[in-house]
Amino acid sequence: MSLADGAELKNGDLGAFLLQNGRVIDPGNGIDEQGDVLVVDGRIAAVLKAADKVEIPSDCQRFDLKGMWVVPGLIDMHVHLREPGEEYKETIESGARAAAAGGFTAVACMPNTSPVNDSQGVTSLIMAKADGVRSRVYPVGCISKGAKGTELADIGEMKQAGVVAVSDDGMPVVDGQLFRRALEYSANYDLLVISHSEEISLSRGGAMNEGEMSIRLGLRGIPNVAESVSVYRDLALADYTGQPVHIAHVSTSEAVDLIRRAKARGCKVSAETAPHYFTLTDQDVGEYDTNAKMNPPLRSEVDRQAIIAGLADGTLDAIATDHAPHSRLEKDLEFDQAANGIIGLETSLPLTMALVRDGVLGPARMVELMALNPARILGVEGGDLSLGSRADITVVDPEKSFVYSEDTIVSKSKNSPFIDRHLTGKAVLTMMGGAITHNEL
Amino acid sequence: MIMESEHFFKHKHLISLADLSVEDLDMVLLTAKSFKEISSRSIKKVPTLRGRTVVNLFFEPSTRTRLSFEIAAKRMSADTFNISASTSSTTKGETLVDTALNLQAMNPDMIIIRHSSSGAPNLLTRHIKASVINAGDGTHEHPSQGLLDLMTVKEHKGDLAGLKIAIIGDIAHSRVAHSDIIGFTKMGASVAVSGPATMVPTEVERLGARVCLQPQDAVADADVVMALRIQRERLLDPLIPSLREYATFFGINKKLLKLAKPDALIMHPGPINRGVEIDPAIADGPNSVILDQVTNGVAVRMALLYLLMGGE
């Protein structure tokens, strides 16, 4: 059953579905073959080969998915939903709708709202607002009170209220001792620490990647070392404490190298990058396009290639969008005055599909990066199509071409450098717990 | 106005010298040369731009450049209006785009903008119909200064091709240096730059300049030696330890100049910190063309107003 726009999901919406003849790609269970997926009562009832015989409920809704991919619901482990505080940019409801449109069944929302999510009160508010929206919403709590980087936030209480990880994303934790304590203290609650790795004494005042382009445009640069110096510290502290750390939005070849070597020596590190870092470079800033401004900034072609290599060889574990909605108020400004960040929920899958078409990533690797690994890293349900698990499923049409035009954007904000691009590969059906949250079949 | 060139100047705005072809540059210089004579008449005014409205929109303090544009416009009979940051609505929280839209509603023909943010003129062109001249944006470019520098060197040296230009100073943060490097290299001159390495990153080579750690290497056999103003706020960055140390190692003085050609021109975009980036005796010496630069600034800006507002 499909939902009308704006309608809330209700338990009664769950029916039985047979997703037939698609290519079922489920690396969590080692499956990549033509077959059917049966969904009953919001759960995966069967994953079968075309030849298998199973009793199909008579009232079952059937989708013929020949030529399409049936994959575990995509999970974006790094988004900004702007609620509470900046609802004119995005709300939990609109962000979840954008997620569903992009093929996501779950998102993890960063705590730099207004007020920041540094307490169980704010976490509870987010959980309440997320009830009935079109995507699962996993709040990330602050590492420090007020995200000010001086005292630990009430991490245990936030965990009780529903956070799945902690991060001061948007700002680095400058104080090394505080970051160390966060890694240690989070262990009690089995919570992941996500690091926004940036050495701000090297990046302060910067507006774009430091290099030829920043000199040409007369913009203050943010050098690669602002990221790698900080990543090095975070990895060293993860080694020292023996605790896991997750590096957010990796943008540089140096950081990819550091993470690769850390993994080789057994450091408990995971890492994500965003589609813009493997799609664009600092050349795309063009003539001061503020929709190409984000932090970390778009880097060089060398970095872009290193990011792609890191995704392919397992150094980078996840693709996350860093979906950062801003209105014209924050973007239609002088470049150095404009806000950092771009939306990404509705372009992540097509941009990643470009890597699959280029042969850089196999389809199963893409599913690992966009569903399986994010679920494992965050320790949440989903990421695979195991029997009996919640039916969070995305159907991808790998050949579907479309123009990403401003009037089709579901997110409340339109700050994307990909507007008017021709993209190929799209989520055509998104199902969360057996309820259809997006359907263009 | 009879132009010797058959070239058609098709630009509406002047944001960066990178946007101009060699033919465009030649045409501006030729036009400026023919306009220069107007400023030496007793009645310094021609009716060419009568009825045109030119707005000087200055968000940064400027005496020389603003006055130069204003004189240029008035000598062409355009009506000029000056808006400076202290009198504009920006102090009331109005955005640049809103300021632009309000100006546009009053139908100016030309907006000349100076702004502390690189790219502010580009933003302006996306929102208004009038022509835009970049009169200096952040650390990006100052194209009319670049053009008046080309004109000044050409006046004294003839053909620009093959000349050796040395620029000493804060290359990374100088909009003048950026426009000069682009302009001189386009015209076939070679540009060598030097200064503290904090101010001269190696990426500057990608703009077409040769980077020298030692100012002596940049100045050797040069036809032109240009000093850039050292801004005091750079001490806090920190890019240099003190103005004194800068003057000692990078200031243009007699000893350094001995390495250049004997008739090397001395240039400076002003305003000068005497005794910091240049020895006063050199700035006032026989080879200095610093005041010629100012004079030519008016001629170049008259030419730009004429060409950009569709002078036939």
| Closest alpha carbon to B177 in B218, B214, B121 | B218
Facing residues of B216 across strands? none
What's the pLDDT at B1?
A: 47
Distance, in Å, from the CA atom of A315 to the CA atom of A6, rounded to the nearest integer, reads 39
Distance, in Å, from the CA atom of A52 to the CA atom of A106, rounded to the nearest integer, reads 31
Query: Where on the phi/psi map is residue B228: left (φ > 0), alpha (ψ -120 to 50), or beta?
Result: beta
> Which chain B residues have a beta carbon less than 8 Å from that of A218?
118-119, 137-141, 175, 178
A287 part of contact set with chain B, CB < 8 Å = yes
Whether omega for the bond prior to residue A84 falls within 30 degrees of 0, making it cis, is yes
Q: Average pLDDT per run of 10 along chain A, which is 441 residues long?
A: 46 77 97 95 86 76 96 98 98 98 98 98 98 98 97 98 97 97 97 98 96 95 98 98 98 98 98 98 98 98 98 98 97 96 98 98 98 98 96 98 97 98 98 96 91
Cα torsion A50, A53, A55, A56 to 10°: value is 20
A217 part of contact set with chain B, CB < 8 Å = yes
A286 part of contact set with chain B, CB < 8 Å = no
A288 part of contact set with chain B, CB < 8 Å = yes
Distance from CA of A209 to the nearest CA of B (A): 12
Return the amino acid letter for A402.
F
Yes or no, beta carbons of A215 and B207 under 8 Å apart: yes
Confidence band (pLDDT; 50, 70, 90) for B221? very high
Q: How high is the ipTM of this complex?
A: 0.91
Distance from CA of B171 to the nearest CA of A (A): 9
How many contacts, defined by CB atoms under 8 Å, are there between A and B? 61
Instruction: Compute the 3-state secondary structure of chain A and give helix, strand, coil in percent, each to the nearest 5.
Output: 35, 25, 40
Average pLDDT over residues B8-25: 95
What's the pLDDT at B291?
A: 96
Yes or no, beta carbons of B120 and A287 under 8 Å apart: no
Mutation for B interface: A208, A288, A293, A330, most B CBs within 10 A: A288
Confidence band (pLDDT; 50, 70, 90) for B232? confident
What's the pLDDT at B91?
A: 61
What's the pLDDT at A96?
A: 98
Yes or no, beta carbons of B117 and A211 under 8 Å apart: no
Q: Look at B270 and A112; give whichever has higher pLDDT.
A: A112
Distance, in Å, from the CA atom of B67 to the CA atom of B301, rounded to the nearest integer, reads 11
Q: Which residues of B, range 194-233, sit inside 8 Å of A by Cβ? A: 201, 203-204, 206-207
> Which chain A residues have a beta carbon less than 8 Å from that of B124?
none
Average pLDDT over residues B123-128: 94
Estimate the crossing angle of helix B22-36 against helix B143-157, to 10 degrees.
Answer: 70
Q: Look at A14 and B273; give whichever has higher pLDDT.
A: B273
B97 part of contact set with chain A, CB < 8 Å = yes
Query: Which among A215, A218, A334 has the least Cβ separation from residue B123?
Result: A334
pLDDT digits 0-9 by tens, B27-38:
999 999 999 999
Distance from CA of B134 to the nearest CA of A (A): 13
Average pLDDT over residues B259-264: 98
A211 part of contact set with chain B, CB < 8 Å = yes
Do A251 and A203 form a contact (C-beta atoms < 8 A)? no
Yes or no, beta carbons of A334 and B140 under 8 Å apart: no
Average pLDDT over residues B21-26: 97
Do B257 and B219 form a contact (C-beta atoms < 8 A)? yes
Tokens (6 digits) for B85: 């940051």
Confidence band (pLDDT; 50, 70, 90) for B86? low
Chain A residue with Cα closest to B119: A288
| Active site residues per annotation of A | 322
φ and ψ of B126, to 5 deg: -80, -10
User: What is the pLDDT of chain B when averaged over all its residues?
Assistant: 93
- Residues whose CB falls within 8 Å of the CB of residue B254, separated by 6 or more in sequence, listed in order: B279, B281, B282
What's the pLDDT at B94?
A: 83
Yes or no, beta carbons of A215 and B123 under 8 Å apart: no
Distance, in Å, from the CA atom of A138 to the CA atom of A194, rounded to the nearest integer, reads 14
What's the pLDDT at B63?
A: 86
Query: Which among B139, B201, B204 has the least Cβ separation from residue A218?
Result: B139
Yes or no, beta carbons of A217 and B201 under 8 Å apart: no
Query: Which among A212, A217, A332 has the least Cβ separation from residue B118?
Result: A217
